[in-house]
Amino acid sequence: MTDRRAVLSIDVELFSQTPAYRNANGSAEREGIGFDGLSFLRDALAEHDARSTGFIVSELADSHPGAIRAFADAGHEIGSHTHTHRLLSALDPATQREEIERSRKMLIETTGRDVHGFRAPAFDLADDHFEVLAQAGYTYDSSIVSSRAIPGWYGGEYDVHRPTPATGIDADAPADMRELPVSVMPGLRLPLTGTWLRFFGPRYTILGMRWLARRGITPILYVHPWECVELPDVEGVPSRVYWHTGAWMRRAIERILSSDFRFVSAREVVESGAGEDGPKADGGE
C-alpha cells in the first residue's frame, strides 16, 4: 500500500454552539448534545491506528475536562477553535483577542500539551487574523477553504490548496506563521468534508483525497462530533444540518479511516513542509 498521508481533523463543538442552532427559534431540552460523538471518534481513530487534531472550543474544558484530557492522552494534537465558538468577525477586536488567547491558555492548562494550531469558527476570519494568532503563541492556522463561492456560507476568496506561509494569504502576516488550507474537490471546488461529505457520501470524499494525493497534496478533512450522534429536532435549525447525521455519519467516517491513507495530525503536515507553496497562492486545482 502506498504510504499516503491525510488529516481527519475534528472541530470539537456542541450542537448548541453551531451558528445554525444559535440562530434557531427553538432549543433542545438537554445540554451537551454532540459530545458523545467525540468518544466515538476517539475509539474509531484508535481502531485504525490513526492520529488526528482536535480544534477544541475551550469552554468545553470547563464542562468536560476529562474527555478533553482523554483525547490528548490518546496521542492526538490539541488545537484551538476559540473559547465560545462565536464568529470572530462579529466581535470587537478586544473580544476577538480574548477568544483566541483564552482558548489557548485553557487548553494548555487542561491537557498539559502545547497548542500550536487554530481554526476559526465557520472559517470566519477577522482583521489582523494572523497577527493576533502569532501574538497569542500559535504557529499555524487552518481556517482557509479555497472553495467556490457558496452563497450564504463562504468561499470564492482564495486559491490555496497546499500548506503555505500565511503571507500568501495576507501580505502583512508574520513571516513565520503558516496556513494549512482545508481541502476541496479538484475542479469542482466544493469541500471534501463537513456538510459536503453528508451530501455526497464517503465515495466522493475518498475520490477527492486520491485525486489530491496524485497531485502531491495532503488531503485536509474535518468533521464534528455532533454529526456523529442522533440530533433532536429543534425549530428553526435547517434540515441540511440533520441530513445523514448519526449512524450514517459514523459509518462514513469508518469508511474514510479504512481507506488507503495514513492519518496524521495537522501539525505533522505543517512542520514537514511537504508540497508546500511559496508566497503566491497555488492555482489550477
| Dist. CA 56–CA 73, nearest whole Å | 15
All three cell numbers of 178: 503558516
What pLDDT is recorded for position 280?
38
How confident is the model at residue 29, as a pLDDT? 86
Residue 275 confidence class, pLDDT cut points 50, 70, 90: low
Return the minimum-mean-pLDDT range out of 3-12, 147-156, 173-182, 200-209.
147-156
Position 278 scores a pLDDT of: 46
- DSSP label at residue 222: E
Among residues of the chain, what percentage have pLDDT more than 70?
A: 95
pLDDT band at residue 281 under the 50/70/90 scheme: very low
Most distant CA atoms of the chain, gap in Å = 50
Among 166, 183, 195, residue whose Cα is nearest residue 266: 183
Condensed to tens digits (0 to 9), the pLDDT of residues 181-214 reads 999 999 999 999 999 999 999 999 999 999 999 9
The mean predicted confidence, pLDDT, of the chain is: 93
- Using one digit for the tens of pLDDT, what is the confidence trace for 52-95? 999 999 999 999 999 999 999 999 999 999 999 999 999 999 99
Closest C-alpha to 194, from 13, 11, 7: 11
| Residue 143 burial by Cβ neighbours in a 10 Å radius (0-12, 13-18, 19+) | buried
pLDDT > 90? residue 260: yes
pTM of the entire predicted model: 0.94
Residue type, 11: D
Q: Report the alpha-carbon distance of residue 95 to residue 21 in Å, rounded.
A: 22
| Cell digits of residue 112 | 498539559
Q: Residues 104, 108, 114, CA angle at the centre, nearest 5°? A: 90
Contact 237, 24 (CB under 8 A): yes
Nearest in space to 179 (alpha carbons), one of 150, 212, 214, 220: 220
Predicted local confidence at residue 155, as pLDDT? 84
